[in-house]
Structure 1
């Protein structure tokens, strides 16, 4: 292969990574010598590639420092602004959403399809001891109904935690639920009616689409951008064009992109929705999982309880199976509590008692630091495995937190075909079209990176890469 073709191919690959947000603005690029070694090219070829990108204004050379990305990432390549903002509100019409539960229930797969932390990363033994103590201490209470709102000590703990990131919450507005999904579903049932318009990000978690579908709502899709999250200007444009009842958003570490919406943008989002009478339903499930260790503020920080209902749970930070979540109801507390009472009466008592015992004995922040470090390391290892072993031209997100990676495949590889071929090899991934109302992102897949990085995981990612190359061929 000629020198000219080599440097042009390398420049083209890096150009696409910059445009898609894989290489982010301000990020330092590998040194020329390292680039040459990693790509097995000459130093002259590496110099030509960087000079080409520099001429295009995508990177810059800094004296005695190296090369850095100049261009800010654009919107996802298959989620352009014009494409999504031009759509009319539509019911959820993605038939593939009905089949995703079949895959999630399987236990014979390497679980790269789940956004759940491995049990070894969670305080499993300590929680088991707390469950046992709660049963021994007061078995009658543990096995009885509790009040629909949840145990006061647990609600106080949740309010205290939010106060640490600048959101002043009255414990009396906290309502305990069976996980974050029940909180979101109850909020949708309370604030919307069938046929109402709801804004969701694209791409977004398939479970949110399923919840919206269950309530007979119509969807407007709002692009979520790699590296910067939700654009308030795009949100305002949708609000001005449509009578939107609610906006169901994941501003802190969107699933699947892992992107974080900035603090000022969050403030603008709340203000825009308030101005148009739109209720914001905030899915704050991943808010505690910032790789930097700095917990971003929730949208509720910029609201007085009038316009934002924040939903979350301990499923991603302590124990998925305890199914303990919450709503921060604000002025809608009474309505939400009535909906909760009519729906499930109350959340199970024993898990709440166990968590109260656990918090009295353990520092949750210590466990979160360990979990964040592990997830950040996993994300980096998974990303590198994709770049090393998957087809050339595959682009993978660089999340700021959470536990998912979003991979864009070369255009000749179909995500559904790769998903099915990976299942046949005993590896679970999810096809990208599950993360859109209309089944967009057909050349994408999502990976969960909560599973520990070990030889099994590495082998699974290598296997999927080999399958993808065969599909490409």
Structure 2
């Protein structure tokens, strides 16, 4: 009998071995992999260990089984090379979903610490209490209990108060923003947007043929009051979209004095404001003053979502507005979102019992630790190669290459090394921020972050001038 090395080998080693085997045999077609018994003999482990490793790979979509035939490698999609994708954003999305990639392009705070488990446990408890929901209780604008909880959460004074009928809940943030575009009749209208801006919002406005004018943030994170005043005086501005607290992807605050000046300008011109509140809860200073506290609440709309603070099991987006009631109600009814009443009730109770706030305290601390670690590595490995905007919250870090480089070349260079970054030009419709990039310290999986930062530094140093 041969000596057993089962304990020293373990299924993790078998898993890594199979990964290498799959990568080496990667072709356009399917490749048959060794049988359970062949691998057990080759690696000197039990068949059950091999079977467990195969099952993990099967769940990941790397292999599939055929009855009475065995396991086959699932052919992986090839890397997108320059010119093979219709645009850069598509290349980022596709490659970020490939197995084995080190993803530094994402902005997914709750992947670090989700609140999914308490949410689902509470939902199951509610389903036992309310096993059947009569059809007459279906509400197109969202579950009343959740709308009431949100109205209370956003009320800060008698002037800045909200009612449940001011709150509208949709399946996700994108669906809610699409409704706003239709309800506010923004197609063809001029909208001012703080820049850089989230790419999903930019592409949504672009697809709806909204005339977007970008307002670049200054070095201190504020807006240029003179430029804004000129635009308000000369353009027929239908709406301005501003961050409530944190501008993302910069992760910076608007200085207090600048915020007051901007708010006074908007009040003077009677401009409608769409406040982006998506990342406010992730600010290091949770009690930071919101932009809405300086604005006319009757000319204000606020939008946000739950996924960045709770997790993927709470994808719902929502908007608050005192005006446009008939238009919003009509469009939400036409869209007919099919939302889980129990899930919405569960979210409402997590908010009401303080569980969300407790969770956010932990999440903010963990995010700051990860950002601090990434920034320290960037300073050690990249030195004066980049300028870092010191983030005041969120899950990402915004960088500017000191030397003007071709960031597309940097992107594809890192892609060949299985690293995905978010080039800065994604955050502008004008092609601005060509020498910027956004990095996340969260979704690098099992990759060594220090080594990956070194790869980013090498790619920036070797990139041609841009």
Do they superpose with TM above 0.5?
Answer: yes
Structure 1 partner of 2:8: none
Structure 2 partner of 1:390: 382
What's the offset of the Cα at 1:284?
A: 0.7
1:205 aligns with one of 198, 201, 207? 198
Q: Determine if contact 2:92/2:105 at 8 Å carries over to the other structure.
A: no
Structure 2 partner of 1:367: 359
Runs of 4+ aligned structure 1 residues displaced above 6 Å come to 142-145, 452-455
Normalised by the length of structure 2, the TM-score is 0.73
Q: Distance in 2 between matches of 1:103 and 1:163?
A: 42
Q: Determine if contact 2:422/2:438 at 8 Å carries over to the other structure.
A: yes
Give aligned pairs, total.
Answer: 379
Structure 1 partner of 2:181: 188
Structure 2 partner of 1:137: 129
Q: Determine if contact 2:240/2:272 at 8 Å carries over to the other structure.
A: yes
Structure 1 partner of 2:266: 273
Asked if residue 355 in structure 1 is aligned to residue 360 in structure 2, the reply is no
What's the offset of the Cα at 1:144?
A: 9.7
Structure 1 residue runs without a partner (length 5+)? 1-93
Q: Distance in 1 between matches of 2:156 and 2:452?
A: 39
* Matched residue SS, 1:322: coil
Q: Determine if contact 1:229/1:251 at 8 Å carries over to the other structure.
A: no
Q: Distance in 1 between matches of 2:338 and 2:121?
A: 24
Asked if residue 228 in structure 1 is aligned to residue 221 in structure 2, the reply is yes
Specify the structure having the higher radius of gyration (Cα). Answer: 2
Asked if residue 162 in structure 1 is aligned to residue 154 in structure 2, the reply is yes
Structure 2 partner of 1:252: 245
Normalised by the length of structure 1, the TM-score is 0.72
How far does the alpha carbon of each residue in 1:109-166 deviate from its partner, in whole angstroms, 9 at most, with x for none?
A: 2231111114341223212312322333334339998301211221122122223599
Structure 1 partner of 2:211: 218
Q: Distance in 1 between matches of 2:95 and 2:431?
A: 18
Q: Measured at CA, do residues 265 and 248 of structure 1 come closer, stay the same or move farther in structure 2, by a change above 3 Å?
A: same
How far does the alpha carbon of each residue in 1:14-42 deviate from its partner, in whole angstroms, 9 at most, with x for none?
A: xxxxxxxxxxxxxxxxxxxxxxxxxxxxx
Q: Determine if contact 1:391/1:465 at 8 Å carries over to the other structure.
A: no
1:427 aligns with one of 412, 415, 419? 419
- Which stretch has the larger CA shift, 405-414 or 339-348? 339-348
Structure 2 partner of 1:152: 144
What's the offset of the Cα at 1:230?
A: 2.9
What's the offset of the Cα at 1:243?
A: 1.0
What's the offset of the Cα at 1:414?
A: 1.8
Q: Distance in 2 between matches of 1:376 and 1:208?
A: 25
Q: Measured at CA, do residues 149 and 412 of structure 1 come closer, stay the same or move farther in structure 2, by a change above 3 Å?
A: closer
* 1:27-106 alignment runs, 5 A limit: 96-97=88-89, 99-106=91-98
Asked if residue 465 in structure 1 is aligned to residue 457 in structure 2, the reply is yes
Q: Distance in 2 between matches of 1:197 and 1:443?
A: 27
Structure 2 residue runs without a partner (length 5+)? 1-85
* Matched residue SS, 2:307: coil
Q: Distance in 1 between matches of 2:417 and 2:255?
A: 40
